[in-house]
Every structure is written in C-alpha cells, then in structure tokens.
Structure 1
Amino acid sequence: METRPLVGPDALPLYLRLADRIEEDLRAVNGADGARLPSERQLAERYDASRVTIRAALAELRERGLLVSLPARGWAIAAAPKPRGGTGTAGRVLGFTDLAQQRGLTMRSRVLSSGVRPATVREAELLNTVAGADLFEMFRLRYLNNMVIALEHNRLPLAVAPAMATTDFTVRSLYDVLREASPTQRPHYADYSVEARIATDDERAKLEITGPVPILAATQLTFNQEAAPIELTIQAYRGDRYTFRASITD
C-alpha cells in the first residue's frame, strides 16, 4: 500500500488559511450569538488581505455554520445548532485524516470492505432516513506512521454524497468527499461516547493485538451544518496507541 505524503497547512488556499485564523480569533474572544463582525474593509486591513479573499473566507465560515450573512448589514456570529440528543460537542468535527495532518503524522487507510445496502430500522432512526434507503457502509483499518491504530465502521446515507459509492478511500478522505458534495456536507458537531473493553477475536487479529491490550470503543453520530445527522461511525482503537482527550466547559 503506497503512503501518500501529507499536504502541509501552507499548501491550503489563502482563503482557507484566513478562515481558520478568523475562526480561531472568534473562538478566542467567545463572541455572543448574533454579534456583528467588523466590516469587510476593516477585516481586510486587520488581516492584511484583499476584500475578495476576506469575502471568500467569510463564506467558508458560513459554510461551517459559524457565521451568517446579513443582507446590507455585513456578517454576524451564528447561533450554534443544538444536538438533537445527548450532550454532543459543538464546533468543527475533525476526521482521522484532519487530525493526522494537524499533528504532522503520516496516515493511511486499508479498506476491508465497502458497499451500498438498505438501512435497517435502527440506522434509519439514527440517521433521519427511512428503513430500506440506500446506506453506504465501509470497514477500514487506520494507520499512523505505519502503525495500525483503529478499526473503523462507517455508515452514511448514500444520498448525502453519492460519490462515496465509487470513491477509493485508500487515497481519499471521507470528510473531504462530504465537503465536496452538492450541497456540501460539513461535519459540524457530534454525539460521541467511548468505553474501554476487551477486544473480540476479530478485532485482535485486525488490530495486530498480542497480550492483554484493551481497546477503546467509540461511537460517533455526526451532524452537518444544518444539524442533520449524516454519519454513524464505530471505532475500535488500540488502547496502547490511543489517548482520548476533551476540553470541558460550563
């Protein structure tokens, strides 16, 4: 399996780098929902960028669900959509590839199987579709620096991104395919739970586990920018190669 080099952050288009900077600044000041942003001219001066680039960056943040455009009045901070159930994490949801890039690690995937099948009643309930609707399903192993880290089971309504059915996910990111869909599907927040347990025989074999190594089993239901559920994923991480961290706020 060929390992492709990661693309560094400096290779991203200027407007995407600028969008990330603006997003970081907005989160740092913890602006209230509905708060107005400075004018595009003022933002262009602040970030030393053209108004065209500023406008593209703001449009990107609107796609992420962080901003809303106000006709003839500029831009404002969007009200964060609330999870349908549980205490999900708000903000930008990062996929495995995103996290690897963020940490400067080499990532690769080995697809064990993928295909389209009818959704079960339970899957349809979680993913807000109907039983029997086309569901894209994939099992794959995820590697960091050529060490197997996780066994992943992804399920998504095919309608959110029909290209999934013909995409080679050994070389493509699932979240990139979602972002490129029409209309775009931006993972925005997720309900996430994790538990430690003993690996099954199948998990031990696939994750190359020998000896008394537990796994961390995570279940994630991801919602898009419109607060619609788009992905149900179960991940089994090797407990000796993965640490779960979270920030808790009031």
Structure 2
Amino acid sequence: MATNPLIDPEALPLYLRLADRIETDLRAIDGADGARLPSERQLAERYEASRVTIRAALGELRERGILVSLPARGWAIAAAPKSRGAGTDGRVMGFTDLAQQRGQRMRSEVLSAAVRPATVREAELLHTVAGADLFEMHRLRYLNDLVIAVEHNRLPLAVAPALAGTDFTRRSLYDVLREATPKQQPHYADYSVEARIATDQERTQLDISGPVPILAATQLTFNQEAVPIELTIQAYRGDRYTFRASITD
C-alpha cells in the first residue's frame, strides 16, 4: 500500500506499519491468488517482530481483503478485491452516482457538518492519528422526495480540505473527493449490512410509523492507493431499500 504523505507512518501502531510493509512486499512479488504465506514463526523472524504483532498485522491485511486465513493451514493471498457498490467502470459509486445512473431525483438534507478531532478507533480505521482533524457529517438522503436513509460520514480532513467548506445539499461527497489535490478516487470498499429495529431518533428522521425495520450498513472506502478515506454508517428504511450484491469466486 502506498504511504499517504499526509500521515506520519511512525505515528501508526506497530502492527499497522508492519501490515503496510508486508502488503508492499506482496505487491512487489505479485503473488498469485491463493498462494500460501510462510508460517507466522518464519514471518516473525523475517520482519524481526513478535508473533503477536505478526498475527495482528496479518489480521489487518485480512480486513483489507489482501489475505485470507486458512484454518490450521496459515495464511494465503486473497483474490483481487472487487469493488463493492461499483459501477461498470469499476469505481465505487456514491448515493448521488447511483441515483443519476437510475434516472431518479436525489436530494440531501444536511443535519450537521463539522470538523472535530478523530478518536483512537476512527484513527485506526482511517489510518490517521488520534486528534487529527476529521470531517463529520450527518444527513438525510431522499429519492424522488421520499426519505430513504440517514447517513453518518467521517473522513480525514487532510484527504480533501475542501470538505469543510462545501454545501452538501448541492454537491456530491465523492465529486469533492475526486476533485481534491491529489485526487481521491473511491476505488473499493468493505461493506457490511444488518437488519435491526430503528432507534427512536431514526424513526423520527426516517418518518417511520409501525413495525418497519431498517438496514444498517457500514462502509469503509479506500482510494486508488488502497488508503482508507471514508467511514460511513447508513440506516435505510427497510420498506424503501433493497440490498443486492453479486458474488464471485
């Protein structure tokens, strides 16, 4: 993974720095999908690290989609990551992109937008440092004037300083990222979704009455250099949104 010039590598936890080193080495040798890695003991010797740190680094690479764990057989290189929520050009598509592609009217209502310090957990996920400026936004998303989702976005301000001064009732978040210097192209994302009961606040925001479930999605988006740039949580009305995915080998 290319090092983000806006982040001091030495400020990252040791296991994350080691994960970056291992990923760089794997890309250098261009290993085939499914190729086995040396044992954790051999990796610990090669990288002069404890097995605990090696295991944490390998776990991080599994989270990035670089490796898969093989029960009782160690670790192997994962298949090349496919873009989640991607269009035909292979890029990750935002809510605005999808609405335009489907010919639907989209609008956003910004509930709050501010810059604040990143927490330790946010810093770990977004590969920045705790206390660094984080752009945070809550907004409602509408399609054809029906409220579909409430969205919570968090991004390191350093990746696109223009975030702080943008009117997101008029602009697309991903367009602002693509226009940044250097540009931040949402390339692939780790995405998970679960059904649950809406909170009282979500029921009010999504205009829910009666037993309507919500689909809660968490998305960690990576740029063209495999650097995480966006952490978003979305709560969709279950009666107005359908999740679809293509599963490949």
For the aligned pair, the TM-score class normalised by the smaller chain equals 0.5 to 0.7
Please state if 1:85 is matched with 2:63: yes
Equivalent residues, number: 169
Moved over 3 A (4+): 86-89
CA distance in 2, matches of 1:233, 1:89: 19
CA distance in 2, matches of 1:157, 1:185: 12
CA distance in 2, matches of 1:127, 1:161: 14
Change (3 A) 1:84 1:227: farther
Which residue in the other structure is 2:190 paired with?
Answer: 191
Report how far residue 203 of structure 1 moved: 0.2
CA distance in 2, matches of 1:200, 1:103: 30
After TM superposition, list the pairs within 5 Å mapping 1:84-103 onto structure 2.
85=63, 87=65, 89-90=82-83, 91-103=90-102
CA distance in 1, matches of 2:156, 2:105: 29
Please list every run of 5 or more consecutive structure 1 residues that lacks an aligned counterpart in the other structure. 1-32, 34-82
Identity rate, percent: 82
CA distance in 2, matches of 1:193, 1:161: 25
Q: Is the 8 A contact 1:134 1:157 kept in 2?
A: yes
Secondary structure class of the residue paired with 1:168: coil
Paired AA for residue 159 in structure 1 = A
CA distance in 2, matches of 1:93, 1:213: 29
Which residue in the other structure is 2:10 paired with?
Answer: none
CA distance in 1, matches of 2:183, 2:170: 20
Paired AA for residue 63 in structure 2 = G
Q: TM-score, normalised by structure 2?
A: 0.66
Which residue in the other structure is 1:143 paired with?
Answer: 142
Q: Is the 8 A contact 1:142 1:149 kept in 2?
A: yes
Which residue in the other structure is 2:105 paired with?
Answer: 106
Which residue in the other structure is 1:177 paired with?
Answer: 176
Report how far residue 85 of structure 1 moved: 1.4
Secondary structure class of the residue paired with 2:211: coil
Secondary structure class of the residue paired with 2:104: coil
Secondary structure class of the residue paired with 1:126: helix
CA distance in 1, matches of 2:212, 2:145: 19
Which residue in the other structure is 2:26 paired with?
Answer: none
CA distance in 1, matches of 2:138, 2:172: 14
Which residue in the other structure is 2:152 paired with?
Answer: 153
Deviations 1:145-204 (A, max 9, x none): 000000000000000000000000000000000000000000000000000000000000
Secondary structure class of the residue paired with 1:242: coil
CA distance in 1, matches of 2:82, 2:147: 26
Please state if 1:208 is matched with 2:186: no
Which residue in the other structure is 2:165 paired with?
Answer: 166
Secondary structure class of the residue paired with 1:225: coil
CA distance in 2, matches of 1:131, 1:215: 31
Report how far residue 104 of structure 1 moved: 0.3
Secondary structure class of the residue paired with 2:128: coil
Paired AA for residue 154 in structure 1 = N
Paired AA for residue 209 in structure 1 = I
Which residue in the other structure is 1:27 paired with?
Answer: none
Which residue in the other structure is 1:41 paired with?
Answer: none
Please list every run of 5 or more consecutive structure 2 residues that lacks an aligned counterpart in the other structure. 1-29, 31-60, 66-80, 84-89
CA distance in 2, matches of 1:97, 1:246: 19
Q: Is the 8 A contact 1:220 1:232 kept in 2?
A: yes
Deviations 1:107-141 (A, max 9, x none): 00000000000000000000000000000000000
CA RMSD of aligned residues (A): 1.4
CA distance in 2, matches of 1:165, 1:153: 15
Report how far residue 89 of structure 1 moved: 3.9
CA distance in 2, matches of 1:85, 1:180: 28
CA distance in 1, matches of 2:176, 2:216: 25
Paired AA for residue 234 in structure 1 = I
Report how far residue 86 of structure 1 moved: 5.4
Report how far residue 84 of structure 1 moved: 6.0
Q: Is the 8 A contact 1:89 1:192 kept in 2?
A: no
Q: TM-score, normalised by structure 1?
A: 0.66
After TM superposition, list the pairs within 5 Å mapping 1:26-105 onto structure 2.
85=63, 87=65, 89-90=82-83, 91-105=90-104
